Amino acid sequence: MDRFLPRKDDYPKEIHKALRHSLFAGGKRIRPYLMVLIYYMYKKQLTPEILMPAAAIELLHTYTLIHDDLPEIDNDDYRRGKKTCHVVFGADIALLAGDSLLIESINMINNTHISVSKRIKLIKDLTAIAGERGLIAGQMQDILSENQECTKNTLEFIHINKTAKLLQLCTRWGAYLADAKAEEIKKMDEFGKKLGLAFQIVDDILDVEGNAETLGKSIGKDEKTRKATYPAVLGMKKSKALAEKYTNEALKILATYGRDAVYLEALTKYLLERKK
């Protein structure tokens, strides 16, 4: 990512500094990590081919964080343990930095040696899950559901679109780019969906029970704004049971790979037990 993007003192430097601030603020890198692990599981080696699409997803993810944190949406001051982009650079520059990361994520896929037909497929996938039938739809319904009674169906719609679909894309791409068979890609898609839902439930739980310092972001905000979260809709006990259920279903899929999935298994378990 560092080598691909303009240097932070390129002209006009404020924009490059701003997006690098958020992109290199740390973060768990779950999405690219997941993609690389799955690719490795099928391919038994790592090639540069996987790195650019994996990085592209991290750019896309960071764009959503910057825009979500803006004053008009979640108005969050901390993210990944650092001040958010708009707090440091102002909302105007943060807005542009988000736009820019979204654009560069697609640009990044194009700056690879992957065949054009594969690239077209990746870009189609990416715009499909990022657009108004994917991430944007989830984010939109999330905003509309604040301070509203929320059904279990709506809650699921939000979390599938806002979170699970992107994780699913990573697990699917890992297999697709390793030239895995169609049925394998489908299996990884299913794995990604279970993992994505578990991930979001844990996220909701951490917003209630987590430690702001460990998490690197403010906590308790969901409750204050009466967001549609799992603990709010199902209660804490049922939420924890559901996160565990999805995790177990994800692990069951991995079990069919035996020792080959040992890293993926560790990651899946970590995502359930994580404190950040």
What is the binding site for its own copies (CB under 8 A)? Answer: 5-6, 11-12, 14-16, 19, 67, 70-73, 90-93, 95-96, 98-100, 102-104, 106-107, 110, 116-117, 119-120, 123-124, 127-128, 130-133, 136-137, 139-141, 143-144
Query: Measured from the CB of residue 59, what is the shortest distance to its own copies in angstroms?
Result: 11
Nearer to its own copies, 128 or 266 (CB): 128
Query: Measured from the CB of residue 207, what is the shortest distance to its own copies in angstroms?
Result: 19
26 Cβ partners below 8 Å, 6+ apart?
80, 81, 82, 216
Nearer to its own copies, 26 or 90 (CB): 90
Residue 97 to residues 48, 84, 100, 109, Cα–Cα distance (Å): 26, 12, 5, 19
Nearer to its own copies, 19 or 264 (CB): 19
- Rounded to 5 degrees, what are φ and ψ at 219? -120, 170
Query: Measured from the CB of residue 91, what is the shortest distance to its own copies in angstroms?
Result: 4
Q: Provide DSSP, 65-132.
A: HHHHHSTTTT--SEETTEE-HHHHH-HHHHHHHHHHHHHHHHHHHHSSSS-HHHHHHHHHHHHHHHST
Query: Measured from the CB of residue 143, what is the shortest distance to its own copies in angstroms?
Result: 6
d(CA 20, CA 16): 6
Cβ count within 10 A of residue 195: 30
Nearer to its own copies, 64 or 239 (CB): 64
d(CA 238, CA 200): 14
Query: Measured from the CB of residue 157, what is the shortest distance to its own copies in angstroms?
Result: 8
Nearer to its own copies, 37 or 95 (CB): 95
Q: Which of 207, 266, 191 is nearest to 239 (CA)?
A: 207
Buried b (16+ CB within 10 A) or exposed e, 209-236: ebeeeebbbbbeebeeeebbbbbbbbee
Query: Measured from the CB of residue 70, what is the shortest distance to its own copies in angstroms?
Result: 7
Nearer to its own copies, 69 or 184 (CB): 69
Nearer to its own copies, 85 or 243 (CB): 85
Query: Measured from the CB of residue 33, what is the shortest distance to its own copies in angstroms?
Result: 24
